[in-house]
Amino acid sequence: MHETNWGLLIVIYLFLGGLSAGLFFAAGLANYLRVDDKPIYARVARMGALLAPWPVAIGSGLLILDLGNWYRFYKLFMHFRWESPMSIGSWLLTIFTLLSFVYLFAWLTEAERTWIFAKVPASWKLVHRLNVDISSWRETLAMIGFPFSIGVGIYTGVLLGAVSARPFWNTNLVAQMFLFSALSSGAAALLFAMLMDRKNPIEKHETKFLVTLDVVFISLELFIILPYLIHGELSTQAVKAALGLILGGPFTFIFWGPFLVLGLLAPLGIEVYELFPAIFKGREFHGSRNLALAAASLVLIGGFLLRYIFVYAGQMSGFHSKMGLLQ
Amino acid sequence: MGTIRMDRRLFLKTAGATAGAVAATQVGCLKYFKKGRSSAADSREIPTTCELCPNKCSAIAVVEGGLIHKLNPNPENPKSRDMLCARGNAAIKQVYDPDRIKQPMIRVGARGEGKWKPVSWDEAFDFAAKKLSETKDKYGPQGTLWSSTEGFQEKFFVNLGQAFGSPNIVRHPTLCLASVNLAYGTTFGTVPSFDLLNSKYVIMAGANRFESIITPDTMDLIGSVMERKAKLVYLDPRFTVTAAKADEWYPIKPGTDMAFILAMINVIIAENRYSKDFVSAYTLGFEQLAEHVKPYTPEWAEKETEIPARDIVRIAREFADAGARALYYSGRRSSWYQNDFQMRRAQAILNAIVGNWDQMGGMVPNSTLPKGEFLFMPWDEPKAPRVDEVKTEFPLAAASDGVYLKLRENVLANKPYPIKAWMVYKQDPMNALPDQSKTLKMIEQMDFIGVIDVQMSDMAWYADVVFPESAYLERTDPVEVMPGIWPAVVYRQQVVKPIHDTKPNLEISQGLAKRLGLSDYFDYTIDQWVEAEFKDLPIPMAAEHMKKHGVWAASGQPKYGATLTPDHRFVTKSGKIEIYSDRLKDAGYDPLPVYTPPVQPPSDRFRLILGRVGYFTHANQSNNVWLHEFMPENDLWINPVPAGRLGIKNGDYVNVASSVGTVKIKARVTEEIRPDCVFMLHGFGKKSKMQSLVYNVGASDAVILETAWDKVSGNAAFHETFVKVSNA
Amino acid sequence: MAMKKKRYALVIDSRKCINCKACVVACKAENEVPVGNFRNRINEERKGEFPKLSINFEPEQCHHCEEPSCVRVCPTGASWQRKDGIVLVNYDECIGCRYCMIACPYDARYFNEEQGVVDKCTLCSHRVDRGDVPACVETCPSKVRIFGDLEDPKSRIHELLSTRRYKVKEPQTGNGPQLYYLL
């Protein structure tokens, strides 16, 4: 077995980063979709925009703390190295985080802005000059932000997938797997937040929108996991040995039970069940609050577990040549 | 919509301030990471000689900024063959070991309690001298015991004991190699070296050369086996590293080596494969041998050794056909069984009849080099006889070394007279002697115990006063000649001044001598001593050379065959190589080796066997942090078959019990050992808290080993203990 | 006159390795490696059933690859490679993200807790630059490792690699490792 260098801090960051990407994406999409020219998902968009920057901001903080010398993190921005997924990722991450904060700002009401700037001392004239209404920038910001959010969602997978030394990761499917997981986690988080907002209770069409989004992304995720497993089993010895970690090895239960069944199949099932009458029988979407909450929570757990399994199992995998590692 | 405009000046100011702050942290970081290393100009290279094991390899110490940074091999020493093993490299951590004894200390609590009072050297010397004098007054000088282990400064301690008037000087050989030395000495008149560099066929039994490093044997052997294509046949109840590298390995039944050897001799004589010319020209007793080995057939030997008869025959043939370049290796630590002397005699005889004496690839008598001697005032011979009665009980053993285990028995019984004071130099009898409970009893009997050592060994822990010796890198020692096929003269000079309040052994001996009225015998400095030794070295500008190079060796090829002249007289009674030994017969021992099967352990017990690894030296390096990393705790090797029977899994803690003690140790269930044996390494389970890495960690073999010795040489027999193993 | 291109590498004759750990301690002393970390190691393979057994030892350390993945993935360029092939870490630039440790197929790197940076075998570049060989090469009783310049046709490693069969570890990664194990 090989050493574990990246631990829980990294797992949490990968989850939070993906979460923000998914939130931003859902928010942007929600704002973009019009039905009869009406922005019926505007509330969804606003909630997403308000939530999006925070997970990744916290995650980035954890990332910096995980460094050997945290105060050296600025060095990441003194270089741009095409071949290093971490280099590209740090830039993507930073730009995305900044953008998502600006996007958040674009969705603040006048009252909210006033409340915030009231906290800033009057003498900080430069800061007060930022108290402008940029709500007209929303579409533009979303448009600029989309590729960055996709980038953040994908690069966390590339970070792992690009490492040829870790056969558990070294497949071109990992990037998409993480992306779709991020997008579904984002949609689920948004759904969860809106369901928990007692002051502005969620409306059926909003639930339906987010549930549909979630169903799509979970399905896409499943469509990636399946070939990952099948092709992996038909691949070289190192890959097969790596997959052994989830096919009989120490991560088997957590992969098939909590992750696949609880984290993917169960919420998918619930959501399909909810959508079933609407889609196939032309009847009303169920919109049960409890079921939606359950589904959203399970998706979030699944998203976290995906990263947990990949980060730990991946580091355990390697080229088990006949020599063991012993001092 | 408002646009965000920035005041340029303000921006620059802010940016500048930020950049400044970043730069400040950057510089701070640089300072943080700047290694506290001095420039290259501060670096010095000082050649010296390692002391971490008996091999005395030449090393070049690199000192930077007053600290020893590295030890590099010195290519000029042919014996150490331009290498430095793990211990040689780790000597730095012996000097900078936080557990080292940093100044003299006198015990304040009970013995072994570990309560110490740091004292000045004067106080320590006064105290020890007073106690020794008291002992002398009550029991005579013979009431004091002086025990030591080899080292360049050992002679000063031994001299002190002798000048004090005590006949009871005991050294380490009867815990180590006394039987092999006596056996080969009896046969050839001298103990030869083995030319493994040029050998073509080597049989090694139990001498695990690839883990028990002896220079140059270890290095020459790996080269011979892997490059020069010598064949290595290895016998050992354990699958050691040597077994792994050998061409053939036989898990010989323990204690039956003599059967194997005698059968080989039987085959070689029966098939006329011995060297007739050599035998007739240089040996005595071949006819008796031929008759003697008749019953020792390969078929008989197979039953004893569990080695197939056809393999014994084949090996005997291959061995004999390699003639002068075949070697049955003698081994070094020969403290195995009670018949060890006679077994090594059988080895010597086997070597003799194939005529590998003084030939390239064979056994070669050591060459030596002349060196000067410092003349000092001699003292009178001690009047009393030795307490271990060596001359009567072990007439052929080296009296000056003593027979350690017999000595302990006598001391415990207070016969023929009591020993009441014990001075120890560079030795840890608590771990070096079997049956620690006896050593503890012996300690109890003493009115006084003084220990001179670099580290707080278990023996030092039980002493009344400890005198910290400076580590080898902190001292200059007498010049030594290393005899061998490639003899060399080596020098050890001070690399750094002692970092603690420690002294070289000479100064410790002098400090004691002064207060014992023996100053006249020690009225010189180490520099004077060394100067005298330089004088007669066969080197031009000897002093300068030795200080600059640390070693001198003759160039050119070794001389083979110097003793193979018709008028050469071997240092034996007959002047010939004595296959049949009258000397042994006269002393009441078998003149030719007679086989007796070893006692077998009862079916529910195992034979405990011992051995080494390449990164520890006996019991005294396990506290070196750079070496300890490789084995934080020792374990007990046990074969899976008996382990399964006993319900022992790998990693379980087990109790190992003999008739004298019990220890608790982790089990290593491995295929690499015979089912009837268990094995453990030395140097763990220490009682000294100042060996913090191994204090109470693992187990000490000394606690469970039983007392036994070879009756001819007095060499300890460490493989005769049977133990019971059970889940803890 | 242009400096001739150099490419340093190690040839390893594992059969001679007796697992004495001299190289590990020599490296520790030479490079001030913290206790608990190692820049080189001896891999062990033990197999068989009593009495048919084998043990094989295989020294290993950073392979100073042709296309080191550790250098590629480093976000700050702290992990870099000299023209003569030696891969090094610039301790002032390393932020301690440990990506390189994960990217190395050979687990050659370790994390220096005290300094917060990643470290590994440097082929004793400070010794090499003054004409010596790495400490692990020099100290070995069996002379298992042979150090040299692949571009020098007179070097011993050039001769060995031209006349003997050898293997490298995990060639499938495409890293081009430069530790050659004689067969």
DSSP E strands in chain C: the ranges are 8-12, 40-49, 52-61, 79-81, 87-89, 110-112, 117-119, 145-149, 166-167, 179-182
How many other CB atoms are found less than 10 A from the CB of residue A284? 10
Residue B201 within any structural domain of the chain: yes
Q: Which residues touch B275 (CB under 8 Å, ≥6 apart)?
A: B323, B324, B353, B354, B355
Q: Which of A78, A165, A327 sits opposite C173 (nearest CB)?
A: A165
Do residues B142 and B492 lie in contact, with contact meaning Cβ atoms separated by under 8 Å? no
CATH fold of A8-316 reads Formate dehydrogenase/DMSO reductase fold (1.20.1630)
Chain centroid to Cα C163, Å, comes to: 22
Cβ contacts of C24 on chain B, cutoff 8 Å: 86, 630
Please check the confidence at residue B195 and state whether its pLDDT lies above 80.
yes
How many other CB atoms are found less than 10 A from the CB of residue B324? 23
Quick one: B375 and B337 in the same domain?
A: no
For chain A, 327 residues long, give each residue's pLDDT as a single digit of tens. 578 999 999 999 999 999 999 999 999 999 888 888 888 888 999 999 999 999 999 999 999 999 999 999 999 999 999 999 999 999 999 999 999 999 999 999 989 988 888 888 888 888 888 888 888 888 899 999 999 999 999 999 999 999 999 999 998 899 999 999 999 999 999 999 999 988 888 888 888 899 999 999 999 999 999 999 999 999 988 899 999 999 999 999 999 999 999 999 999 999 988 888 877 777 777 678 888 899 999 999 999 999 999 999 999 999 864 344 433
> With the CA atoms of B387, B389, B394 and B397 taken in that order, what torsion angle do they form, in degrees rounded to the nearest 10?
50
Cβ contacts of A165 on chain C, cutoff 8 Å: 69, 102-106, 173
Q: What is the mean pLDDT of residues C42-59?
A: 96
Q: Is the Cβ pair B86, C20 closer than 8 Å? A: yes
The letter for the amino acid at B86 is: A
Q: Which residues touch B517 (CB under 8 Å, ≥6 apart)?
A: none
Phi first, then psi: what are they for B272, rounded to 5°? 55, 40
Residue B81 within any structural domain of the chain: no
Handedness of CA A131, A137, A139, A145 (dihedral sign): negative
Quick one: B287 and B307 in the same domain?
A: yes
Do residues B106 and B464 lie in contact, with contact meaning Cβ atoms separated by under 8 Å? yes
Q: Which residues touch B15 (CB under 8 Å, ≥6 apart)?
A: none
pLDDT of residue A1: 56
Do residues B339 and B376 lie in contact, with contact meaning Cβ atoms separated by under 8 Å? no
Indicate if ipTM > 0.90: yes
Q: Is the Cβ pair B630, A126 closer than 8 Å? A: no
Q: Is the Cβ pair B30, C26 closer than 8 Å? A: no
Q: Is the Cβ pair A69, C24 closer than 8 Å? A: no
The letter for the amino acid at B176 is: C
Phi first, then psi: what are they for C149, rounded to 5°? -105, 115
- C window 129-168, beta carbon within 8 A of A: none
Q: Is the Cβ pair B1, A133 closer than 8 Å? A: yes
Do residues B473 and B95 lie in contact, with contact meaning Cβ atoms separated by under 8 Å? yes
Phi first, then psi: what are they for B165, rounded to 5°? 105, 5
Closest residue, chain B, to A132 (C-alpha): B2
HSE (CB half, 13 Å, CA atoms) of C18?
32
Tokens of A97: 């985080």
C114 and A CB contact within 8 Å: no
Residue B184 within any structural domain of the chain: no
Q: What is the mean pLDDT of residues B269-279?
A: 97
Residue B596 within any structural domain of the chain: no
Q: Is the Cβ pair C77, A327 closer than 8 Å? A: no
Q: Is the Cβ pair B1, A69 closer than 8 Å? A: no
pLDDT of residue C2: 57
DSSP class of residue C181 equals E
The letter for the amino acid at A302 is: G
DSSP labels, B218-237: HHHHHHHHHTS--EEEEE-S
Please check the confidence at residue B637 and state whether its pLDDT lies above 80.
yes
Total structural domains in chain C?
A: 1
DSSP labels, A89-133: HHHHHHHHHHHHHHHHHHT--HHHHHHHHHTS-TT-HHHHTT---
The letter for the amino acid at C144 is: V
Total structural domains in chain B?
A: 4
Quick one: B374 and B344 in the same domain?
A: no
Quick one: B298 and B443 in the same domain?
A: no
DSSP E strands in chain A: the ranges are none
pLDDT of residue A319: 86
CATH code, domain carrying C145:
3.30.70.20
Do residues C6 and C131 lie in contact, with contact meaning Cβ atoms separated by under 8 Å? no
Angstrom CA distances, C93 to A307, B568, C117, stand at 29, 73, 9
Q: What is the mean pLDDT of residues B473-495?
A: 96
Q: Which of C42, C44, C76 sits opposite A79 (nearest CB)?
A: C76
Residue B98 within any structural domain of the chain: no
Do residues B430 and B459 lie in contact, with contact meaning Cβ atoms separated by under 8 Å? yes
Q: Which of C43, C99, C116 sits opposite A323 (nearest CB)?
A: C43
Percentage of chain B with pLDDT > 90? 91
Query: What residue numbers bound the domain in which C17 lies?
Result: 8-182
Question: Exposed/middle/buried for B30, CB within 10 Å: 0-12, 13-18, 19+?
Answer: exposed
pLDDT of residue B41: 61
B375 and A CB contact within 8 Å: no
Please check the confidence at residue C3 and state whether its pLDDT lies above 80.
no
The letter for the amino acid at A115 is: W
Quick one: B323 and B355 in the same domain?
A: yes
Tokens of A108: 């603040």
DSSP labels, A199-246: SSPPPHHHHHHHHHHHHHHHHHHHHHHHHHHHHHHTS-HHHHHHHTTT
How many other CB atoms are found less than 10 A from the CB of residue B122? 11
Closest CA to B143 of B419, B328, B335: B419
B30 and A CB contact within 8 Å: no
Closest residue, chain A, to C41 (C-alpha): A327
Q: Is the bond leading into B237 cis (omega within 30 degrees of zero)?
A: no
Q: Which of B213, B239, B625 sits opposite C20 (nearest CB)?
A: B213
Helix (H) or strand (E) holding B725: strand B721-727
Chain centroid to Cα C125, Å, comes to: 12
Closest residue, chain A, to C100 (C-alpha): A163
d(CA B489, CA B481): 4
Band the pLDDT of B324: cuts 50, 70, 90.
very high
Residue B51 within any structural domain of the chain: no
Quick one: B355 and B211 in the same domain?
A: yes
DSSP labels, B273-293: -S-HHHHHHHEE-HHHHHHHT
Q: Residue-wise over B495-522: b if at least 16 C-beta within 10 A, else e?
A: bbebbeebbbbbbbbbbbbebbebeebb
Q: Is the Cβ pair C29, B70 closer than 8 Å? A: yes
As a whole number, the mean pLDDT across chain B is: 93
Closest residue, chain A, to C104 (C-alpha): A165
DSSP class of residue B306 equals -
Residue B91 within any structural domain of the chain: no
CATH code, domain carrying B648:
2.40.40.20
CA angle, B123 as apex, B122 and B128 as ends, to 5°? 100
Q: What is the mean pLDDT of residues B253-260?
A: 97
d(CA B405, CA B715): 8
pLDDT of residue A214: 93
Give B44→chain A minimum CA distance, Å.
Answer: 32
What's the pLDDT tens digit per position in B67-119? 999 999 999 999 999 999 999 999 999 999 999 999 999 999 999 999 999 99
Quick one: B356 and B375 in the same domain?
A: no
Do residues A179 and A186 lie in contact, with contact meaning Cβ atoms separated by under 8 Å? no
Domain ranges of chain A: 8-316
Tokens of B665: 């140790």
Look-up of token digits 């570890």: C169
Query: What residue numbers bound the domain in which B657 lies?
Result: 606-727
Quick one: B380 and B519 in the same domain?
A: yes
Quick one: B575 and B453 in the same domain?
A: no
Most confident of A274-288, B443-457, B554-568: B443-457
What's the pLDDT tens digit per position in B670-714? 999 999 999 999 999 999 999 999 999 999 999 999 999 999 999
d(CA B9, CA C67): 47
Decide: pTM greater than 0.80: yes
d(CA A73, CA B479): 58
Do residues B120 and B104 lie in contact, with contact meaning Cβ atoms separated by under 8 Å? yes
CATH code, domain carrying B162:
3.40.50.740
- Tell me the residues of A at the C interface, defined by beta carbons under 8 Å apart: 2-3, 5-6, 66-69, 72-73, 75-76, 78-79, 81, 83-87, 90, 159, 162-166, 236, 238, 315, 318-319, 321-327
What's the pLDDT tens digit per position in B415-438? 999 999 999 999 999 999 999 999
